[in-house]
């Protein structure tokens, strides 16, 4: 999988949220970088954020152009270890732990504007979406 991604990045939900908020930078980025993958968890969060069938159809249309990285047993093990290590100390939530575990296991750099949700995770490479 990693060989197909060129830039070796994983897009977090925040990049897509900016896209749907019509932030020009996010719209340009996603229209030019649709080869970049996102976690299936990010895709599920976007579906969950849909307020109606039309919004869900728009989400599905965009996601059809993006490589979705599925969960696998090793991502599950890493997520569980991240939860044990960081839930009590940092309040790590399961979706964020799954996305972080995906980035770690697939050796991808997570692109996010929620750096504070992830910055404490050792071994996770981050790109601050606000600074790209």
Distance, in Å, from the CA atom of 39 to the CA atom of 92, rounded to the nearest integer, reads 17
Average pLDDT, the chain: 92
> Could you state, in order of their start, the residue ranges of all structural domains in the chain?
2-131
Q: How far apart are CA 126 and CA 100, in angstroms?
A: 10
pLDDT exceeds cutoff 50 at 4: no
Could you tell me which residues are beta bridge partners of residue 9?
109
Which CATH superfamily hosts domain 2-131?
5'-nuclease (3.40.50.1010)
Q: What is the pLDDT of residue 55?
A: 95
For the stretch 100-116, pLDDT in tens is 999 999 999 999 999 99
Encoded tokens for 131: 């600074």
pLDDT at 31: 82
pLDDT for res 34: 62
pLDDT of residue 3: 38
Comparing 14-18, 27-31, 97-101, the range with the smallest average pLDDT is 27-31
pLDDT tens digits for 67-98? 999 999 999 999 999 999 999 999 999 999 99
pLDDT confidence band for 5 (50 / 70 / 90): very low
E strand intervals along the chain: 9-11, 38-39, 68-69, 109-112, 126-128
| Angle of CA points 88, 11, 43, to nearest 5° | 80
Beta-ladder partners of 112: 128
Number of residues written out for the chain: 132
Q: Is 66 or 42 the better-scoring residue by pLDDT?
A: 42
Residue 7 — pLDDT band, cuts 50, 70, 90? Answer: low
């Amino acid at each position: 999988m990693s060989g197909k991604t060129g830039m070796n990045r994983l897009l977090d939900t925040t990049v897509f949220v900016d896209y749907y908020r019509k932030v020009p930078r996010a719209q340009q980025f996603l229209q030019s970088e649709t080869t970049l993958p996102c976690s299936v968890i990010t895709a599920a969060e976007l579906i969950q954020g849909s307020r109606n069938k039309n919004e869900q159809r728009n989400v599905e249309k965009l996601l059809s152009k993006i490589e979705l990285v599925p969960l696998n047993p090793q991502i599950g093990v890493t997520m569980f270890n991240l939860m044990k290590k960081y839930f009590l100390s940092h309040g790590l939530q399961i979706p964020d732990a799954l996305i972080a575990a995906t980035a770690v296991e697939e050796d991808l750099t997570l692109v996010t504007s929620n750096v504070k949700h992830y910055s404490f995770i050792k071994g996770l490479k981050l790109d601050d979406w606000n600074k790209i």
